[in-house]
């Protein structure tokens, strides 16, 4: 049977997920949409047959025909929506972050464990990007030996209004935190943040770019250039340096043209373009697993672990120096 999904939050990501579920994903339909903006949510529901509009997430989750929930409201609204989904024992795909902060993430872990089965997949979509998938598969063969270092570049064209220096860590570098833990299968143990003189492109007062260094439980060193007003494109690149070779993704060399004494290609302008395929595969994998009665993909534990690293990162940014990550013991439930 087709999975009836309620999409909570119909802003930039939520509206894109509604379109995806409606037009791209197999085996699912948008049964309900929810937004505190009543006009916006009605307009979106009107475009989809059999889709109801709500302004209250709890009412949508109690509605007939809703079998699963995709949370795409702001991070501060995630904990309440997750807890309501647990009351109805509904499967959830929750956009990153699981919740802002490790204390709230721990409350979610405890509530999910009380259900007795996993219900949450966190929207770390890079794990579904074909290039990252290839990189992970290569590392797993062991052909390159042990990873020693991972270099990351994460560039955005420009920040939206209200984007703060902490958000470079919490909203942007959180993806590298997840990808580091997933690729290396290690925890991040300490964070250092270096702060170059801000770019003239950055809004007044924003510490942009930043250079972030992670240490990992297996002794690898990871660096991240986070540079979110670069002006020229949306770029996410990663290079793993191993004992017997290196592997690198994200160069965007799909189409290269040579003309009038130059060679080159186009650079994506935002995440919906660069990671379109990853979002499609992420949502399809969630729908497929849910219909089989399974939960796969990044777990609430991954959401908690990255929240803990974000806290260390923000302290390192504000206080300077190296800050160790405080991580609870991983419950066997999330083994
Ligand atoms: P947005 O501000 O464009 O949209 C949020 C929407 O939620 C708005 O329409 C707002 O009216 C609505 N809303 C606010 N409070 C609500 C509530 N309590 N219940 C229901 N709706 C509510 O934000 P966005 O950029 O779409 O981000 C949404 C989520 O997606 C965030 O968690 C963000 O971190 C995440 N995100 C992920 C990626 C990614 O690459 N995976 C990219 C961007 C954003
Ligand atoms: C945004 O919230 C995302 O999740 C994007 O993937 C990231 O590139 C961007 O910097 C964040 O603001």
* pLDDT tens sequence across 170-194: 999 999 999 999 999 999 999 999 9
Domain co-membership, 214 together with 323: yes
Mean pLDDT of the chain: 98
171 lines ligand 2 (CB under 6 A): yes
Structural domain that includes position 28: 3-125+277-299
Q: Give pTM, 2 decimals.
A: 0.98
Whether the per-residue pLDDT at 106 is higher than 90: the answer is: yes
The pLDDT value recorded for residue 209 is 98
pLDDT classification of 115: cutoffs 50, 70, 90: very high
34 lines ligand 1 (CB under 6 A): yes
181 Cβ contact list (under 8 Å, min separation 6): 187, 188, 302, 305, 306
Whether the per-residue pLDDT at 253 is higher than 90: the answer is: no
Task: Give the pLDDT confidence of 42-84 residue by residue, as tens digits.
Answer: 999 999 999 999 999 999 999 999 999 999 999 999 999 999 9
CATH of residue 172: 3.30.360.10
Total number of domains in the chain? 2
Domain co-membership, 271 together with 287: no
8 lines ligand 1 (CB under 6 A): yes
Q: What is the largest CA-CA distance in the chain?
A: 65
- Given ligand 1 and candidates 34, 72, 124, 279, which is best to mutate, with the most ligand atoms within 8 Å of its CB? 72
Domain co-membership, 79 together with 193: no
Tally Cβ neighbours within 10 Å of residue 67: 18
User: From atom 8 of ligand 2, which residue's Cα is the shortest distance away?
Assistant: 172
Domain co-membership, 286 together with 312: no
Residue 34 CA, closest ligand 1 atom number: 20
> What are 282's two structure tokens?
């992420």
For ligand 1, the distance from its centroid to the CA atom of residue 129, given in whole angstroms, is: 21
Ligand whose nearest atom lies closest to the CA of 171:
2
228 lines ligand 2 (CB under 6 A): yes
Domain co-membership, 202 together with 239: yes
User: From atom 31 of ligand 1, which residue's Cα is the shortest distance away?
Assistant: 74
73 lines ligand 1 (CB under 6 A): yes
Domain co-membership, 213 together with 330: yes
């Amino acid at each position: 049977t087709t999975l009836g999904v309620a999409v909570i939050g119909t802003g930039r990501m939520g509206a894109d997920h509604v379109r995806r579920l409606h037009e791209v994903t197999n085996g699912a339909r948008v049964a309900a949409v929810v937004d505190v903006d009543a006009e916006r949510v009605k307009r979106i529901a009107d475009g989809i047959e059999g889709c109801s509009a709500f302004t209250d997430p709890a009412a949508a989750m109690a509605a007939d025909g809703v079998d699963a929930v995709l949370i795409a409201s702001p991070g501060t609204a995630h904990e309440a929506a997750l807890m309501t989904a647990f009351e109805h024992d509904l499967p959830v795909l929750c956009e990153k972050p699981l919740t802002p902060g490790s204390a709230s993430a721990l409350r979610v872990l405890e509530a999910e464990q009380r259900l007795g089965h996993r219900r949450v997949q966190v929207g770390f979509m890079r794990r579904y990007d074909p290039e990252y998938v290839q990189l992970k598969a290569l590392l797993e063969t062991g052909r390159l030996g042990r990873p020693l270092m991972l270099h990351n570049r994460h560039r955005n064209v420009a920040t939206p209004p209200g984007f703060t220096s902490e958000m470079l860590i919490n909203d942007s570098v959180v993806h590298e935190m997840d990808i580091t833990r997933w690729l290396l299968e290690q925890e991040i143990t300490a964070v250092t943040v270096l702060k170059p003189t801000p770019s003239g492109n950055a809004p007044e007062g924003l510490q942009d770019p930043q250079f972030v260094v992670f240490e990992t439980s297996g002794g690898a060193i990871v660096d991240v250039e986070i540079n979110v007003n670069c002006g020229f494109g949306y770029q996410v690149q990663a290079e793993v340096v191993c004992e017997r070779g290196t592997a690198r993704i994200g160069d965007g060399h799909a189409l290269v043209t040579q003309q009038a004494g130059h060679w080159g290609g186009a650079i994506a302008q935002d995440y919906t373009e660069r990671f379109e395929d990853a979002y499609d595969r992420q949502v399809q994998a969630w729908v497929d697993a849910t219909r089989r009665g399974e939960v796969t993909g990044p777990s609430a534990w991954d959401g908690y672990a990255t929240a803990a690293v974000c806290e260390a990162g923000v302290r390192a940014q504000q206080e300077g120096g190296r800050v160790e990550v405080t991580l609870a013991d991983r419950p066997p439930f999330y083994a």
